């Protein structure tokens, strides 16, 4: 922590940090969380995912609302269970974009199991709590959460109910004006595996997609997107999708949404 960030905790043992609210200089903010699965199965795809993260966050600088964004980036994997935050490691807390150096992001290192519940619970719980702090001080706030994973839950402290409750709270409109939570599935079946045993590879792909889709539906996340293979070009498109979604969300907060047809009502 430094004097521009404050530490918070919630749930049992979950922690996060956020910019000191007193230092914030805009009247409304879009909170953004990007959560990355860092379980063992992403091994071999780390650098592509890192590039995707850098591209997604970096592209936000060109948004008209770049000064209205507070971005948090976390990674989750069972290797983080023994540190604060359960299976989650916070790369940085809710921070103004201008204070983020994407080139300083740490390298990802796949390892351990997938505490997907922890990742989503940390993402949404922290956002709810920080948004409450902002709203208490009369800031207007909305939010968008991206959870990028290659597999279903198998190692969390947080329960499915905890995740569901936090997601429910995030969309009541009482705290944030709106909150969009997007689960993005990526396929990490390697070309080698596909060549050696195409049937098995297909089964794996289908299972991961189905598991994640079930998770999204059961937890109450807003959307599930199957991004497909974790190739460079697909991840580049994913980065574009993430940054555009962030831009649209911040525009929705500022203006109430895009221009609308006027013929029906005027």
Partner 1 sequence: MSTIKRPKKVTLEGYGDLTLRTADYVTEGGEGAIYRKGGYIIKLYHDAQKMQRDDMSEKIHLLASSLKHPSIVTPKGLVIDSNEAIGYYMPFVQGEAYPKLFTNDFRNQNGIDTLGVTHLATKMHEVVDYVHRQGALLVDANELNWLADIKDVRQPTPYVIDVDSWQIDHFKASVIMPSIRDWHGSISEASDWFSWGIVTFLLYTGIHPYKGNLDGYKPGELERRMKNNASVFLPGVRLNKAVRDFRIIPGPLLDWYEATFTQGERTLPPSPQATGKANTNLGQIMRVVTTQSGGLIFERLLEVPGERVVSIWPCGVVRTNAGTLVDVATKRTIGQTSNGRVAVVGRDNGWVIVEEVSGAWQWRFIDRRGTESTLTVPLTVTTILRSGERLFAVTESELIELTLQAFSKPVLTLGNRWQILGKGTRWFSEVGVSNILGAMHLIAPYGANAVAMVRTSELDGLTVVNAKAGTRFVVVVTVSHNGEYEEHRFAFDKNWKQYQYDRELVDGSELNLTILPKGVTASIRDDGELIIAVPFQGDKKVVSDRDICTNLRLAHIIDKVVYQKDGVLWSLGMR
> What is the contact surface with partner 1 in residues (CB under 8 A)?
22, 24-28, 64-68, 96, 98, 135-142, 173-174, 176-178, 251, 254-263, 266
Distance of alpha carbon 237 from the chain centroid = 16
Cα 25 to Cα 110: distance, rounded to the nearest angstrom: 37
Q: Give 106 or 256: the residue with its C-beta nearer to partner 1.
A: 256
For 65-87, b/e burial (b = at least 16 CB within 10 A) is bbebbbbbbbbbbbbbbeeebbb
Other C-beta atoms closer than 10 Å to the C-beta of 234 total: 16
Nearer to partner 1, 26 or 91 (CB): 26
d(C-alpha 63, C-alpha 159), whole Å: 36
Q: Which is nearer to partner 1, 18 or 112 (CB)?
A: 18
Among 67, 121, 128, 64, which Cα is nearest to 99's?
Answer: 67
- In the bound state with partner 1, the residue whose beta carbon lies nearer, of 198 and 257, is 257
Least spacing, CB of residue 238 vs partner 1, in Å: 18
For residues 18 and 85, which CB has a smaller minimum distance to partner 1 in the complex? 18
Structure tokens at 105: 């992001």
Nearest distance from residue 265's CB to partner 1, in Å? Answer: 9
Nearest approach, Cβ of residue 123 and partner 1 (Å): 21
Q: What is the three-class DSSP state of 173?
A: coil
Closer residue to partner 1 (CB): 106 or 258:
258
Minimum gap (Å) between residue 124 Cβ and partner 1: 18
Please state the closest distance from residue 68 (CB atom) to partner 1, in A.
7
Nearer to partner 1 among residue 199 and residue 261 (C-beta): 261
For residues 84 and 74, is the Cβ–Cβ distance under 8 A?
Answer: no
The answer to whether 187 and 205 have CB atoms below 8 angstroms apart is: yes
Residue 132 Cβ, how far from partner 1 at the closest point, in Å? Answer: 12
> Nearer to partner 1 by C-beta: 9 or 98?
98
The encoded tokens of residue 96 equal: 């103004």
Least separation in angstroms between residue 64's CB and partner 1 is 3
The Cα-based distances of 192 to 44, 196, 198, 230 in angstroms read 12, 6, 9, 14
Q: How far apart are CA 178 and CA 182, in angstroms?
A: 13
CB 225 within 8 A of CB 124: no
Q: 257 CB contacts (<8 Å, ≥6 apart)?
A: 251
Q: Closest approach of Cβ 72 to partner 1, in Å? A: 18
């Amino acid at each position: 922590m430094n004097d521009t960030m404050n530490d918070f905790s919630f749930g049992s043992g979950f922690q996060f940090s956020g910019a000191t609210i007193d230092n914030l200089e805009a009247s409304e903010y879009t909170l953004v969380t990007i959560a990355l699965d860092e379980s063992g199965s992403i091994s071999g795809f780390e650098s592509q995912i890192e590039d995707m993260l850098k591209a997604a966050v970096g592209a936000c600088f060109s948004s008209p609302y770049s000064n209205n964004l507070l971005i948090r980036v976390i990674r989750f994997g069972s290797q983080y269970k023994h540190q604060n935050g359960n299976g989650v490691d916070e790369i940085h807390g809710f921070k103004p974009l201008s204070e983020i150096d994407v080139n300083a992001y740490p390298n990802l290192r796949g390892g351990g199991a997938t505490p997907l519940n922890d990742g989503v619970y940390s993402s949404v719980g922290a956002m709810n709590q920080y948004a409450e702090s902002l709203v208490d001080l009369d800031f207007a706030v909305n939010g968008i959460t991206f959870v990028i994973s290659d597999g279903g839950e198998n190692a969390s402290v947080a329960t499915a109910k905890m995740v569901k409750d936090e997601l429910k709270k995030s969309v009541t409109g009482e705290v944030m004006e709106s909150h969009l939570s997007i689960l993005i599935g990526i396929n990490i079946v390697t070309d080698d595996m596909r060549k050696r045993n195409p049937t098995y590879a297909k089964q794996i792909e289908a299972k991961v997609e189905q598991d994640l889709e079930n998770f999204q539906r059961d937890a109450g996340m807003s959307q599930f997107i199957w991004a497909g293979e974790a190739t460079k070009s697909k991840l580049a498109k994913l980065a574009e999708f993430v940054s555009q979604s962030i831009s649209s969300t911040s525009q929705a907060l500022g203006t109430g949404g895009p221009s609308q047809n006027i013929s029906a009502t005027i």
